[in-house]
Structure 1
Amino acid sequence: MSQAPATEQGQHWKRELAALVNLAIPVVLSELGWMAQGVVDTIMVGRLGPAAIGAVAVGNAVFYTPSLFGIGLLLSLDTMVAQAYGRKDYDDCHRWLAQGIYLAAAITPVLMILVACASFGYGHFGITAEVATPASAYLRMLNWSLLPLLIYGATRRYLQGVGQVRVITITYVLANLLNWGGNWALIYGHLGFPAMGVRGSALSTVIARIGMAVSLTIFAWRYERKRGHPLFKHWAGPQWTRIRQLIRLGLPAAGQIILEVGAWNAATLSAGWLSPVALATHQIAINYASITYMVPLGISAAAAVAVGHAVGAGDKARARRAGWLSLALGSSFMVLAGIVFLVAPRPLIELFTHDPRVLAVGPSLLWIAAAFQIFDGVQTVCTGALRGLGETRAPMIANFVGYWILGLPLGLILCFVLKWGIYGMWIGLTLALIVISSSLLHRWYKASEKYNAEPA
């Protein structure tokens, strides 16, 4: 008699693991596709030299802080759409998408003004003129991708929430092919286009992101038409109560992203104070760390959807299982990634450059990245699982304390006071990830336990 419940529980875990993997794989591929845009830009400008690599690095660093704030606000759609879909309230899913689009359109002008102003500030932060001038040009061009990026972000959260994730992967594959071809044509002046250098790389990204927004909008329309729930037939007008709900839930999520990305961007700017070689080496290493991060980030998004579906359906046990299964998947991958960084740092760096100065510094930086992989995975997946429950404040607080109170100050001291250079900065950020992952893992355990104990 006692074996039957255990067998049934094991079957629940197996079914839900399979469902989670089917959801997570396309989302992970989509996150890798997002990351690939920046990697493609970095690789394609590589022949222009370390200064061009550094220009793309600091250009993206400044652009992504305000743009990811906008994307962070839209993360609240994960919770609202997934829970509505779990309740089988499909019209409510449509209404949440509409409010997300209105919110994206409303915040875009403010964010574009901030980016435009920032493009004139590189010289005031000690960035060498060799890097600052092309970085400013790159950033001003990239700024035009902000509105399509946010429309894409809202539509993507909607499609994830209703379980339609493969179309997101298809869109990213096409967008990256378009971006690669655009870089080849616009950076170096092929096919009759002028050689625009780093500005050409930014223009190519703008075109690719317009294509992404159009593609996902068409996919969402086709999906809902086939289901018999026309997406635009009863398109909702602005509903301020819902928009306020999105902001209330999304603002801490956006704050968490800004705190995290801001800390790494501060590290990038600090590398710019050292030398072009240090900045280029830092950018290559952070590209690899960011690539591996995209996998748990995709699993995190899948966790938010899976937990949200279970919450909407009122299945508390399934909500907890979804969170723990996601953590197991994310942690396992990051252990493997850390091993790769340990055993093959030089070949990885040579994919970007054969500059002997970069090759002398880079392997040790990848070894430090290997040390924090599992902690990065745990904190990322916990953030998504908590978002599925509707909890977004804990990750923001953990990132503030971990990065800005502990890790970043320590990194600056080790880098500039103790003269450890870029290694010191990365050691400080590793400590931050250890603190953040430990606190969020504890928070997920407590929050999921509390939810499970609540009356139906």
Structure 2
Amino acid sequence: MTLFTLIALFIASFGEVTVGAHQIALSFTSILFMLPLSLSMALTVRVGNTLGQQRLAHARKVAWNGIVISVIVAAINSILLWVSAVPVIALYTSNSEIQALALSIIALAVIFQLSDSLQVNLAGALRGYKDTRIVMVITVLSYWIVGLGGGHWLGSRGVGDMIAPLGVHGYWIGLIAGLSTAALLLGWRLQRISIRG
């Protein structure tokens, strides 16, 4: 939550249209995020209970089945986000400039759904294994270095002479990169931990 709040502060310098579009996209995606987040909490409990019963092979199966379900949930959320974007944005504002920018951000948020759902559920499964320190290190590095650092760089500086500063889109691309990095590293960690039992 702190990461999203800080990004909103950086985006504030881009003007009210950008802030409005960002808030609409963030609000809409946050509502959809509740399903992967709930699944993550259930996965933590389910994996932990199974491990407590000394059923190590079953705990591994529970963890990876939960990850498969999280991918399915992400696909459903992405479709729902894209199909309902225009009418939902219209509920927030009638300003056509904000609507257009919010729609372009939501196009990025469609991609965001997979990595966000994966990383939160991988972290949930790892918490079930009582593996919290490494999860914290991975998420801090992924969110703050890759996500915020990369997003701020893309948003305010671009990429040399090749790509001009991307503004709010740069921050969202940074979020996608940060969440994807977290998902990859957490997936690697779950693979190692679940094999060890």
What is the TM-score with the length of structure 1 in the denominator? 0.41
1:301 to 17, 41, 49: 41
1:392 to 132, 135, 138: 132
- Give CA-to-partner distance per residue, 1:216-267, whole Å, 9 cap, x none: xxxxxxxxxxxxxxxxxxxxxxxxxxxxxxxxxxxxxxxxxxxxx2222211
Name the counterpart of 1:291: 31
How far apart are residue 366 of structure 1 and its match? Answer: 0.3
How far apart are residue 340 of structure 1 and its match? Answer: 2.7
- Give CA-to-partner distance per residue, 1:70-125, whole Å, 9 cap, x none: xxxxxxxxxxxxxxxxxxxxxxxxxxxxxxxxxxxxxxxxxxxxxxxxxxxxxxxx
CA distance in 1, matches of 2:125, 2:32: 19
- Give CA-to-partner distance per residue, 1:340-397, whole Å, 9 cap, x none: 3334422121122222221121111000000121111111011111111111112211
Name the counterpart of 1:368: 108
Name the counterpart of 1:448: 194
The one of the two structures with greater contact order (alpha-carbon pairs below 8 A, sep at least 6) is 2
2:57 to 288, 305, 317: 317
CA distance in 2, matches of 1:442, 1:414: 27
- Does residue 1:430 correspond to 2:176, yes or no? yes
CA distance in 2, matches of 1:344, 1:367: 12
CA distance in 2, matches of 1:351, 1:322: 39
Name the counterpart of 1:266: 6
Mapping 1:117-266, distance limit 5 Å: 261-266=1-6
CA distance in 2, matches of 1:351, 1:313: 49
SS state at 2:92 partner: coil
CA distance in 2, matches of 1:360, 1:316: 50
- Does residue 1:328 correspond to 2:74, yes or no? no
How far apart are residue 407 of structure 1 and its match? Answer: 2.2
Name the counterpart of 1:416: 156
CA distance in 1, matches of 2:134, 2:104: 33
- Amino acid of the residue matched to residue 373 of structure 1? Q
Q: Structure 1 segments of 4 or more deviating over 4 A?
A: none
Give the length in aligned residue pairs. Answer: 191
CA distance in 2, matches of 1:309, 1:396: 22
Q: Which has the larger radius of gyration?
A: 1
1:352 to 80, 92, 98: 92
- Amino acid of the residue matched to residue 43 of structure 2? A
CA distance in 2, matches of 1:267, 1:408: 7
CA distance in 2, matches of 1:351, 1:402: 33
How far apart are residue 318 of structure 1 and its match? Answer: 2.1
Name the counterpart of 1:439: 185
Contact 1:346–1:362 (8 Å) recurs in 2: no
Contact 1:331–1:374 (8 Å) recurs in 2: yes
Contact 1:307–1:323 (8 Å) recurs in 2: yes
Q: Percent identity?
A: 31
1:282 to 9, 15, 22: 22
How far apart are residue 402 of structure 1 and its match? Answer: 1.3
How far apart are residue 301 of structure 1 and its match? Answer: 0.5
CA distance in 2, matches of 1:355, 1:395: 41
Name the counterpart of 2:144: 404
Unmatched runs of 5 consecutive residues or more in structure 1: 1-260, 452-456
Contact 1:395–1:440 (8 Å) recurs in 2: yes
- Amino acid of the residue matched to residue 433 of structure 1? L
- Amino acid of the residue matched to residue 75 of structure 2? V
CA distance in 2, matches of 1:277, 1:350: 14
How far apart are residue 278 of structure 1 and its match? Answer: 1.3
What is the TM-score with the length of structure 2 in the denominator? 0.91
- Give CA-to-partner distance per residue, 1:306-340, whole Å, 9 cap, x none: 11111111111221122112111111011121123
- Amino acid of the residue matched to residue 268 of structure 1? A
CA distance in 1, matches of 2:185, 2:49: 25
Unmatched runs of 5 consecutive residues or more in structure 2: 159-164
